[in-house]
Amino acid sequence: MHDPVDIAGRHDAVARRRRMHRRHTQRRLSKVVIASVTVFGLASVLRPEAPAPAAVRPATGAVGPVANAQPAPLHASLHAPSLWRPAGEVLKRGKSTNAPSLPLAPDLREQERRESLSRWHHIYTFSTRYRIKPDLARRIYDAAVTAGLEPELGFRLVRVESVFNPRAVSRAGALGLTQLMYGTAREFEPNVTREQLLDPDINLRIGFKYLRSLIREYKGDLKLALLVYNRGPTAVNAAIAMGMSPANGYESIVTRGYRGRGTLD
């Protein structure tokens, strides 16, 4: 059997929900009515009025009656557009807009920012791997990219040649980070001096340019180009002419674990 108290409570709850529903419905209807009255009131105010008919009266001192038209009221000459337009007209105007369509071009600033971040990421990676200062790593990286060499090959060459010492001078007279011979450097920059070859930027620029030209001259044979860089073209060509291998282990030390081609193009 059902409890009478429970049944009465359920009826009260249903009645409360119905009253709340009626109140919400009345509020919505009131808002709609108020909005409609406001819109139609504005439309009636902005609607242009027809000009009043001109009054006709005889002109004093004239022969015969002359019709003098009264000036039309100011608000009659103002044309106010209708507040309501068919949906099709709105869509038509939206499609026929003459606004120019701009192409979706990539954001150049964002592209430059990404390239800069990628560059510094590689620089700091090389700096950590070879335990050198970031400034020196930056100089080697930028010089290699400018010369068309893969930066990894540039760092390997400098490590083997000078152990990253810009003031290194060998017994044979090779100078700087890439251990350039003075005569070889003058083939690329005739006005360079010995003291200038101890400048990191100048030394890296000429040394990487020389290695890049050797790789091109020997048709992409990286190991042969490295042997010529180390031993000189005369010794390598003589060994090849005699049917002997010009290898002396230098090329293996530089390229150990290296899988690149040596050049960026």
Distance of CA 86 to the CA centre of its chain: 43
Q: Hey, where are the domains in the chain?
A: 135-255
d(CA 50, CA 77): 9
Please name which of 171, 187, 190 lies closest in space to residue 179, comparing C-alpha atoms.
171
Distance of CA 17 to the CA centre of its chain: 58
Query: Could you tell me the pTM of the whole model?
Result: 0.61
Give the contacts of 180 (CB within 8 A, at least 6 positions apart): 174, 197, 203, 206, 207, 210
Report pLDDT digits (tens) over 45-81.
555 555 555 554 544 444 444 445 555 554 445 455 5
CA angle 125, 203, 154 (to 5 degrees): 35
Report pLDDT digits (tens) over 207-220.
999 999 999 999 99
d(CA 119, CA 150): 13
Mention the CATH class of domain 135-255.
mainly alpha
The token pair at 244 is 């002997």
So what's the pLDDT on residue 59?
Answer: 47
Q: Give phi and psi for 245, each to the nearest 5.
A: -80, 130
Report pLDDT digits (tens) over 170-218.
999 999 999 999 999 999 999 999 999 999 999 999 999 999 999 999 9
Contacts 24+ apart (CB under 8 A), 166-174: 166/136, 166/198, 166/199, 166/200, 166/203, 167/198
